[in-house]
Structures are given as structure tokens and as C-alpha cells.
Amino acid sequence: MATHLKSSNTAINISDDVKRKHIGIVVAEWNKDITGSLLEGASAALKAAGIETISIKWVPGAFELPLGAQYLIELANADAVIAIGCLIKGETPHFHYISEAVTGSLSRLNLQYIKPVVYGVLTVDTHEQAKERAGGSLGNKGEEAALVALQMLQLREEIKAESGRKKVGF
């Protein structure tokens, strides 16, 4: 039976086919108090949606998220990956180099594998801003990332079903 979920932007009906998908979560250890809360939000949302198979893997920092996501897709055959990290602006240009590399690489994985690789990475100025987005006053961005993964998997199923129906007519 389909499960009805409401994200901040849209309502999603999760079909039984989507519930059987394997979803990977790759999480960075840097700023673990924050990434741990984002992980809790993402896992809780996937469980509430009835997702049966969830693999959680930790990597050292945000820079390692793209390779961790690639491992989950290539070696564990994940259908979607949620990448969770927290980059806090410091006094060196590190923040810019890492956030640009991570954003570009995660974005490319979506198209390379034709699978959702969701950007659950906070890029903030302060630890306080991160806390607000990791279960604080601005919600939990991990939970939002999980809903995005489900929405994209559902979209794929719908488009597949529609294109199958069209072929029957020829």
C-alpha cells in the first residue's frame, strides 16, 4: 500500500516499488554533532516511508562524500544515495575548495549513474547556523534530503510506468 508523505514543498505518495529500493546514506565525521543529527532525520524519514533497505556508511570529511556515494552505488548497488555533511566556513579558503569540489562531484554522480545522489550538505558560516538546520528552528535538512531521494525515486517509477503504457498502443 502506498504511503503518503508531506515534504515542505510537496506531497509524495511512496509506492511499494519505491519501498523496496536500496537507499544508501554516506555521512561525514567532521562536525559529527551536526551530521549525526542530520543522519537521524534522514533515517527516521526513510523508515517512516517504509523503506526496507538502508545502508549507512561514514567517511572522514565532506571531501570524501562523493567517493563514498560512488562506492555505495558501484559496490552495494544502491538505488539512491543521500550525502550528509557539514562544512563550516573557517578563516582559510579550505571551505570554498571543499564545497566546490563536493558540490560538483555529487552533482555529476546523479547524471553519471542516472540515480539520485542527494545533496544533504550544510554550508554555513557558523556552528550555530548548522544547529538551526540540524533539528533546530529551521528543521532538519537530513530529513528534507531523504524526502528528495524518495521523490526522485517515485518520479523515476512514474515515468517508467508511463512510457511502458505508451508502448502497448503500437
Instruction: Using CB under 6 A, list all residues that contact ligand DLZ.
Output: 28, 30-31, 60-64, 85-88, 90, 94, 98
CB closer to ligand DLZ, 20 vs 94:
94
CB of 4 to ligand DLZ, least distance (A): 34
Copy the grid coordinates of residue 37: 543529527
CB of 133 to ligand DLZ, least distance (A): 14
CB closer to ligand DLZ, 31 vs 154:
31
Copy the grid coordinates of residue 156: 523515476
Q: Residue of minimal CB distance from ligand DLZ?
A: 61
CB closer to ligand DLZ, 62 vs 82:
62
Q: Catalytic: 94?
A: yes
CB of 25 to ligand DLZ, least distance (A): 15
Q: Which of 4, 22, 94, 127 is catalytic?
A: 94
Report, as residue numbers or ranges, the catalytic residues.
Answer: 94
